[in-house]
Chains A and B, each alone.
Chain A
Amino acid sequence: MDLIKAEDISYSFKEYDEEGNVTGARTAVDHLSITVPAGTFLAVLGRNGSGKSTFAKHLNALLIPQEGTVYVDGIDTSKAKDMLLIRRNVGMVFQNPDNQIVSTVIEEDVAFGPENLGVPHGELEDRVYSSLEKVGMSEYASNSPTKLSGGQKQRIAIAGVLAMKPKAVVFDEATAMLDPKGRREVMAALKKLHEEGITIIHITHHMEEASEAERVIIINDGKVVMDGTPQEVFGNHAEAEKYGLRAPNAVLLRDMLKDGGMRLGEHIALDEKELAMQIASHLRGGEDD
């Protein structure tokens, strides 16, 4: 079942001069089509200004395509009466941890979304606590969010989304402002949601994060230009580099070894553990895999 289906969608932003007159338009999403089956972990890559975020904002009706149609769980996002249902189904976590917290107490912040959906009190409490539990922040429930680290704040934002029981969560560069520890925390929470069957759309500039996804797409000039498993996309990194991307370090090292004459077999290891295993067994036994 396709949870998200974008059919030939386009969106452009108007450009204005200093007096506020429209001087032109910049196309951000250009006849883009994609389907995302329920339960997928999809990574979206592309250079700054490629249209990734504009595309993402279409997934929960923050933007409505100017051309084409987006369906979320079978519902056309341009039908205004279903907006609330769409927003409930697709949650969003944004880049800046400080811009997403609205309350002075963490549990109230997490309750903000479901409360607005009219969830009755008893259930509300259950949802808040089980969401905080899932992101590992239960012990902070009655604290103020001001003293949290960036990674912890992002996990609160994720809990706030979870409390609305979404079918999909879009992470729009949600790890970009975090330190390595915060990034690991958010990635762990993200993977946990995926294991529970929630569809994940993760926009990132970190190739190592993207290589953990099931499917990777590259957006360039508002179009999907590459689409495949991380192995397929990064295995062809000469192509990916055209769109301003770089392969993960493991792939680069593998290439250097290959150029030097070492034959490591067909499988492309994306992370260091896998690659170390491949190299070690190759050097010891001389076998190909």
Chain B
Amino acid sequence: MKTIKLVLENVSYVYNPGTIYETVGITDADLSFESEKSYAVIGHTGSGKSTLLQLMNGLLSPAKGRVLLDGEDVHAKKYKIKKLRSSVGLVFQYPEYQLFEETVIKDVCFGPKNLGYTPEECLELAKEALRLVGIEEDKFDQNPFNLSGGQKRRVAIAGVLAMNPGILVLDEPAAGLDPEGKEQILSLLKTLRETKKMGIVMVSHNMDDASGADEVIVLDKGSIALKGSAREVFKEYERLAGLGLDVPFAMRMTRLLRSRGIDLPDCFDNEELSKALLKIYKR
């Protein structure tokens, strides 16, 4: 898998500029995304998350600033946008609604076919992608609409994986799934990062899911309100609460226990918290 770096340099985007419907999409975003790392983007509805994702793979072009893939400006005149599209794969929210082919394998072949791969190569790429997402061979020739919700979603993700992106961008990949389906998707993303060296950028409304990322980006009204490691970002409880956001469960518990007079260090997850509590208990 290719190692890539995507940089957003002082990027702004405005919807309907110059009209009374003018609305801010993104303002002055400076961000950098690399293969092998994971990023969580959080922010309430309308904070600019979707705009950001669309800027990342060239569906929108910035009104100001540049988007650079490995140093190349993707909106320069001579740049072939397909290069960006195949390097930064975008999985929309509820991607299963975008399945359209008669069979699973044809659906997954669609992406690589459009990138100009030969039919044999497409088939290879599609099979590999389906194997990665855990769809068994006996399902390849089935109608995708006969699969379960979780399976459909994994097929839709395979459709993007088949293009071999260096960075995979997903808009709420676990929304609407049951806890088991959600775990499968999250562990798939982990596998892609670890074994395929893929960069993962995930929009999430679940702070416990977001806390697993290397870097957390918090958006508010189109601007980057906070950015840093999950530990750093989620320390800003008051700030996040002001933005209508939350912190992971264990951190909320830590706060509550401190307010009840229990002297605890910063605890990030249930494991750390239970260890700290048991230490006090056994003292």
Chain B associates with chain A: yes
**A residues near B, CB below 8 A?**
15, 18, 46-49, 95, 149-151, 173, 176-182, 205, 207, 244-246, 249-250, 252-253, 256-257, 260-262, 272-273, 275-277, 279-280, 282-284
Compute how far the CA of A276 lies from the CA of B207 in the bound complex, rounded to whole angstroms.
20
| Pair A48/B150 contact, Cβ less than 8 Å | yes
A-B CB contacts (within 8 Å), total count: 110
Q: Among A18, A149, A205, A246, point to the contact of B46 (Cβ < 8 A).
A: A149
Min distance, Cβ A35 to any Cβ of chain B, angstroms:
26
Contact status B278-A279, CB under 8 Å:
no
From B181, B244, B262, B280, give the contact of A47 (CB < 8 A): B181
B interface, by DSSP: helix, strand, loop or mixed?
Answer: helix
In contact, A253 and B274 (Cβ under 8 angstroms): yes
What are the residues of chain A within 8 A of B278 when measuring CB–CB? 257, 260-262
Q: Are B277 and A48 in contact (CB under 8 A)?
A: no
- Chain A residue contacts of B257, Cβ below 8 A: 276, 279-280
- Shortest B187–chain A CB gap in Å is 14
Question: When the two chains form the complex, which single residue of A46, A48, A260 contacts B177, counting CB atoms closer than 8 Å?
Answer: A48
A48-B148 contact in complex given A18-B143, A262-B278, C-beta closer than 8 Å: yes
* Residue B65 CB within 8 A of the other chain: no
Question: Which residues of the partner chain A approach B249 to less than 8 Å between Cβ atoms?
Answer: 249-250, 253, 272
Residue of B nearest to A273 (CB): B256
Output the nearest chain A residue to B205 by Cβ-Cβ distance: A179
Establish whether residues A249 and B256, one from each chain, have CB atoms under 8 Å apart when the complex forms. Answer: no
Number of interface residues of B (CB under 8 A): 42
- Bound: A250/B208 CA distance, A: 13
Q: Given known contacts A205-B177, A253-B274, is B244 in contact with A180 (CB within 8 Å)?
A: yes
Q: Would you mind naming 27 contact pairs between A and B with Cβ atoms under 8 Å apart?
A: A47-B178, A149-B46, A151-B45, A177-B176, A179-B44, A179-B244, A180-B205, A180-B207, A180-B246, A182-B45, A205-B176, A205-B177, A207-B179, A249-B270, A253-B249, A253-B250, A253-B273, A256-B271, A257-B277, A257-B281, A260-B274, A261-B278, A262-B277, A275-B253, A280-B257, A282-B281, A284-B261
Asked if A177 meets B175 with Cβ closer than 8 Å, knowing A18-B102, A244-B180, A257-B274, the reply is yes
Docked-complex contact B281 and A272, CB < 8 angstroms: no
- From A181, A250, A279, B262 is in contact (CB under 8 Å) with A279
| A residues in contact with B179, CB < 8 Å | 205, 207, 244-246
Q: Which residue of A lies closest to B179 (CB)?
A: A246
Cβ contacts under 8 Å, B180 to chain A = 47, 244-245
Query: Smallest CB–CB gap between A22 and chain B, Å?
Result: 14
Chain A min CB distance to B222 (Å): 16
- Bound complex: CA of A67 vs CA of B149, how far in Å? 26
B 140-153 to A, binary, CB cutoff 8 A, 1 in contact else 0: 00010010111000
Docked pose: A79 CA to B40 CA in angstroms: 52
**For the complex, what is the distance from the CA of A173 to the CA of B175, rounded to whole Å?**
11
Most buried by A among B260, B275, B282: B260
Complex CA distance for A180 and B208, rounded to whole angstroms: 12
User: In the complex, A182 Cα to B245 Cα: how many Å?
Assistant: 11
Q: Which residues of B contact A48 (CB under 8 A)?
A: 148-150, 177-178, 181
- What 10 A-B pairs come out closest when comparing CB atoms? A280-B260, A276-B256, A244-B180, A256-B274, A249-B249, A260-B278, A48-B149, A47-B178, A246-B179, A181-B244
A283 near B253: Cβ-Cβ < 8 Å: no
- Chain B positions 240 through 283: 1 when the CB is less than 8 Å from some CB of chain A, otherwise 0: 00001110011011001100111000000011011101101110
Contact with A along B19-39 (1 / 0, CB 8 A): 000000000000000000000
Q: How far is the CB of A83 from chain B (nearest CB, A)?
A: 29
Q: A252 CA to B179 CA in the complex, in Å?
A: 14
Q: How far is the CB of B262 from chain A (nearest CB, A)?
A: 6
Judge whether B253 and A272 touch: CB under 8 Å.
yes
Contacting residues of chain B (128-181) with chain A, CB-CB under 8 angstroms: 143, 146, 148-150, 175-181
Once the chains are docked, how many angstroms separate the CA of A131 from the CA of B46?
26
CA distance A148 to B282 in the complex (A): 52
